[in-house]
Amino acid sequence: MPYAVCSYIMDFKVIKQDTVTQARVGRLGTPRGIVDTPTFMPVGTYGAVRGVTPEEVHESGAQIVLGNTFHLYLRPGTRVIEKMGGLHNFTGWGGTILTDSGGYQVFSLAKLRKITPDGVRFQSPVDGSEHFFTPETVMEIQNTIGSDIIIVLDECIPYPSTYEYTKDSTDMTIRWAERSKKVAIGTGRGLFCVIQGGFFKELREHCTDELVNIGFDGYAIGGLSVGEPKEEMYAVLDQVTPRIPLDKPRYLMGVGHPDDLIEGVIRGIDMFDCVVPTRHGRRGYLFTDAGRIIIKNSCYKDDELPVEPGCDCYTCSKYSRAYLRHLFMSGEMLGLRLNTVHNLHYFGRLMKEIRLAIEEDRMLQFREHFYSLQKEKTRC
């Protein structure tokens, strides 16, 4: 795969700002090459985007993938990855890698963990062994495995939560971020903090301002898409993104569906990640400009069309909806792979079209056209 390797640590430049919305086109430079933003990061939880090869991920248009610190720490382990030459060499992915802190996975363990001001103690869901994550150890893990962009430890606040709980947790996240920066200086990695604060305007703004004062290479917005109505998520973005420096990338964690990507971009988001394209592909849901296809539906039994006419992905160039339905109904692994290839390609193409719309100052028209196509789809 032809990746350009750069000499600098991380650099971000806004190339074009939409004249009506907060949407912008940017270039994120890392030692592994340029990432055009807005961008979508396929999720490689265990060091692989599920069901597809690194070459297939690259062909979808992805320039950056996400790895999960928590899962990679437990399996195969930090030292194994280090011995194999780091995460890029171990996985075969030559592009940029961002690893999250593992905080979301740790805090989702509920009964298996205990939070303290120093960090979080938890039991491994793999073998029951006990572990302790601190802001410092999480930085060390990500540095050791060779991530290009690393994320500080934070608490993903449950929804809903009381004001008191949210305030205490948010203050702790700020303290952890400050500790993380102290040990991350000089590692040669891009360092992102995580903005928390739940759904309390005062706390979100306070957290944002405090983290901006500390200063980071990028700003992730966490604790969203955790069960709240979409209107609440969009309201948080409206509050937070204007308070983040214009010359820093903004990353919306764990989002999302195609409409969420468009709405996030309009509100100034540069980076997204989610398991939606891969997980939905394995479940037989295929994304198209005209809406989502449920391939198991009987109307596709003898449908000669590709998933999306005009799509140039490998799946659409070779196979019919009828064949994909047959594979899915037969439980054939190939069907899940082909579905995933198409979905990743769709997300890559969507982000490319979004960037073009911003460059041409027609982002609002693009959103309107997107929703009009979704409404016109005939369900079967």
Kindly report the CATH number assigned to the domain that includes residue 87.
3.20.20.105
Same domain for 164 and 201, yes or no, is yes
Task: Give domain status of residue 2, yes or no.
Answer: no
Return d(Cα 334, Cα 313) in angstroms, integer: 15
Task: Give domain status of residue 290, yes or no.
Answer: yes
Average pLDDT, the chain: 94
Same domain for 358 and 338, yes or no, is yes
Same domain for 340 and 254, yes or no, is no
Same domain for 231 and 313, yes or no, is no
pLDDT of residue 378: 54
Task: Give domain status of residue 33, yes or no.
Answer: yes
Same domain for 187 and 307, yes or no, is no
Tokens for 85, please give them.
């030459």
Same domain for 246 and 180, yes or no, is yes
Same domain for 213 and 108, yes or no, is yes
What is the count of structural domains for the chain? 2
Task: Give domain status of residue 346, yes or no.
Answer: yes
Catalytic position from the list 18, 148, 154, 273: 273
CA distances to 38, 58, 155 from 335, in Å: 30, 20, 37
274, 304, 331: which is the final residue of a domain? 274
Mean pLDDT of 105-120: 81
218, 239, 274: which is the final residue of a domain? 274
pLDDT digits (tens, 9 = 90+) for 310-344: 999 999 999 999 999 999 999 999 999 999 999 99
Helix (H, G, I), strand (E, B) or coil at 93: coil
Same domain for 228 and 289, yes or no, is no
Task: Give domain status of residue 1, yes or no.
Answer: no
Catalytic position from the list 18, 100, 154, 217: 100
289 as an active site residue: the answer is no
Task: Give domain status of residue 297, yes or no.
Answer: yes
Q: Which domain holds residue 82?
A: 11-274
Return d(Cα 138, Cα 22) in angstroms, integer: 33
CB 320 within 8 A of CB 309: no
In the numeric block, the tokens 């999302």 are attached to 256
pLDDT digits (tens, 9 = 90+) for 123-140: 888 999 999 999 999 999
Return d(Cα 143, Cα 108) in angstroms, integer: 24
100 as an active site residue: the answer is yes
Same domain for 265 and 138, yes or no, is yes
Same domain for 230 and 293, yes or no, is no
Task: Give domain status of residue 321, yes or no.
Answer: yes
pLDDT of residue 195: 98
> In a 10 Å sphere around its CB, with 0-12 CB exposed, 13-18 middle and 19+ buried, how is residue 50 labelled?
middle
pTM: 0.96
Same domain for 41 and 147, yes or no, is yes
